[in-house]
Structure 1
Amino acid sequence: MNSQRYEENPLIAPKDVKPYHAGFEVIGAFNAGVAVYEGETLLLLRVAERPLPPREGVVGAPVYNPDSGEVAVKELRLDDERYDFSDPRTIREKGSEGAFAYLTSLSYIRIARSADGRHFTVDDKPFIYPSGELETFGIEDPRVTQIGDTYYIYFSAASPVGIGESLVSTKDFVHTEHHGMIFGPDNKDVIIFPEKVGGKYYALHRPTTPSTGRPEVWLAESDNLLYWGNHKHLLGLRADRWDSGRIGGGAVPIRTERGWLALYHGATKEHRYCMGAVLLDADDPSRVLARSARPILEPEAPYETDGFFGGVVFACGAVVDGDVVRLYYGAADTSTACAELSLREILDGLEPV
């Protein structure tokens, strides 16, 4: 697959974003939802901030307090044998079947603005900030679906009781209305289609369970965008391929002459994240027509292979202009980059199923 990475990449790096919290540092500006509003490209950045180490041998775990509206930092010693500190993103209780006790950073959503889609300025303050008991560990990986004059923004909401997907809407990217959690724990990577199909709204989502399930893509439908049902398993893992470890939705599905094109991420069991595509029937999105045999974008550039969590390209949004797909993606869980791809080449490269 031919892809043209922008020479300005990474477009936004942690050094380009001022910390919002005193005594914190920005370690990530990535995994942005994308919207076009009044002639500007808006990136709804996931900004991750980490407390500066209080002293040697100690790590700080930030937790939002919904009662005070402030962030408290719990200090943990790195030699505390109750916890596993091997993953720089999480602090896990040993023997807890993979559940994390804390995150090492707090994420929220901040807007970056551009007139040309290449050069961005980042707002000084958050656009959407954690609120309520279901977001005490932060909010992550936003996507944006425009339906009419309303932009629906949905994101992973993390707390001690799990990770679910919450929904916020806006008409002007100033005022917001919060609609609560639309997919309960554990669920993430939700992608809402930009129009009704057969009188229903549709969404991709990725539930995970510690039982027999695997991190795969499901389809749900709704009458009102708030209550989702008729869940169907849609897309599974493929052994010995680039999407053998986990998969999940990426950018908002694109209506094409051949059907709905959904760009999704896949990872190997070694946690190498790539982007691929799947084609769904235009009138019945539960029918999978074709799928990427190979990634359409994979981590190759230094800013994709090296970073806070290297070997990752992870897209939450794209802008389509004719045959050009501008895919904005998080690189190495650190920065934001963009690559242009051909819509027709993506479609022609799919493998029928």
Structure 2
Amino acid sequence: MTQDVVTAKIHQPRSPLSRGLRHKRLPGLAAAAVAVAVAWLIHLAVPVMPFLTVAVILGILSANIPGISYAVEGVLRPGLEYSGKKFMRLGVVLLGLKLSLIDVAALGWGTLGIVVGIVLLTFFGTLALGKLLRLPGDQPILLATGFSICGASAIGAMSGVTKTDHRDTVVPIALVTLCGTLAIGVLPALKGPLGLDAIAFGHWVGASVHDVGQVVATAQTAGSAALAGALIIKLTRVLMLAPIVTVTALVERHRHHRKVAAGAVDHAEIKLPPLVPLFVAGFIAMIVLRTLGILPPPALAAAGTAQDLLLAAALYGLGASVKVRSLVQTSGRAIIAAMLSWALIAALAYVGVHYI
């Protein structure tokens, strides 16, 4: 290929269709930015309400308030869908900067094994519940990933491998957010009756609550020691995101190859998921950077803020797809599965904290 041809390709103008699509996203992206600012102000006024949880709630309200819902389904939809997909993946990448392998190693092999066991038992238990209750599509594996690892972020990561449609992630994300929000009030109330001291309570919260923000809001009710213990246990669960997503990608590829071998589909019709999705590779790279201590504290703080903002915008976009009436009418079995999964991980974590 000649230099002239290469130059022509580099400087080739974007098509009108591409520019038009980008312009159509602007209203939705602007709405997400406003919602993020409002969610942050609400969180500052009521610290017990996690920032990301508020963002989801605002999205759900936007989708169900007459007048606003019309715009959400119309002019705002392209930007909100873009936010829910792309910003979620960028947020997952930056999530890796919260986790140092040195901190995980400091837990010891015994504690690490218990945490991994809780994650795996919850994952496969929820997957079995979802299949037993005949949940549609990818709901079983998305619920299993969200409840066992790190809530909406994990669901977003898994949906990138399963190629789940944006709107089909709405129910799992709404349910994992609901249960995580309920945990903020329910778990502290059970601390006394269950006879947990501050450290044990923190470990229980870290091993059972889904989103990092919800862990902070729940554990801080028992003091700084509980919060510190909760965060390290929780971030160790987050470490399981990469291997579980990668194994799922391998399973999906094997399933596709079997369909091709059986003649059920044509090879050209199938787009195989990568062994390690690009954003998961980015997540792993960020863990390595944090472990090596290359980035200074100000850079880590800035990345943490960027991650929160990206995830908040993504969760607002996803929440704006939740129609409460339809959710209640059509997702009864998913609600049952979510509540059972929440009970399962809480019970497993309660048993586990006695051995940590």
Query: For the superposition of Structure 1 and Structure 2, which TM-score range results when normalised by the shorter chain?
Result: under 0.3
Q: State the structure with bigger RCO (CA 8 A, min sep 6), 1 or 2.
A: 2
- TM-score normalized with structure 1 length: 0.24
- Larger Rg: 1 or 2? 2
- TM-score normalized with structure 2 length: 0.24
More helix by share: 2
